[in-house]
Amino acid sequence: MVEKASEKQWEQLAELLGKYRGTKGSVIPVLQQAQDIFGYLPKEVLIEISDKLGVPISQIFGVVTFYAQFHLEPRGKNIVRSCQGTACHVRGAKGVLNAIREKLGLKEGQATTPDLKFTLETVACIGACGLAPVFMVNDDTHGRLTPESVGPILDKYA
């Protein structure tokens, strides 16, 4: 399950905020580096960033929710990106996606497994249309998938 932030993480954040205090245009780099420290951006971290940079929390939240690179919830160790582009769709991507959800025990709308081993994302295109249907686990691309091939591939990352 989700662990509380460590003292070391809070110290790293304090150091980061000290480095950027008073610097114009620092919100995005601070958020990026804070996310690297914590793995995501918990509410308490956003409040601390707002307070120390003197930027309204509404502005911080607006940036975090606008850019897809920022995450407000913990993410899994392994990121599974399931392509839902046209070539993959035509060749059965929906069945592969359903098999991934079933294998990981994810309900509709749930993205991360409770043990934080996997996070599932759907993407518009991975760029490997000749291998459709395709998914990626971290930086590894897996193609010519069937719903039956999903389980053994994901087992390698568990």
Flag whether 130 is marked binding: no
Flag whether 129 is marked binding: yes
Flag whether 125 is marked binding: yes
Residues 6+ apart with CB under 8 A from 26: 20, 53
pLDDT per residue as tens digits for the range 54-74: 999 999 999 999 998 999 999
* 101 has a pLDDT exceeding 80: yes
Note the pLDDT of residue 2: 42
Confidence band of 5 (pLDDT split at 50, 70, 90) = confident
* 36 has a pLDDT exceeding 60: yes
Flag whether 51 is marked binding: no
Q: Confirm whether pTM is higher than 0.75.
A: yes
Note the pLDDT of residue 93: 98
Note the pLDDT of residue 4: 76
Residues 70-95: what's their mean pLDDT?
Answer: 96
* 1 has a pLDDT exceeding 70: no
Residues 109-121: what's their mean pLDDT?
Answer: 95
Residues 86-112: what's their mean pLDDT?
Answer: 96
Beta bridge partners of 81: 121, 136
Q: Are 151 and 103 in contact (CB under 8 A)?
A: yes
- Share above pLDDT 90 across residues of the chain, in percent, rounded to a whole number: 92
Rounded distance between C-alpha atoms, residue 109 and residue 32, angstroms: 25
Confidence band of 3 (pLDDT split at 50, 70, 90) = low
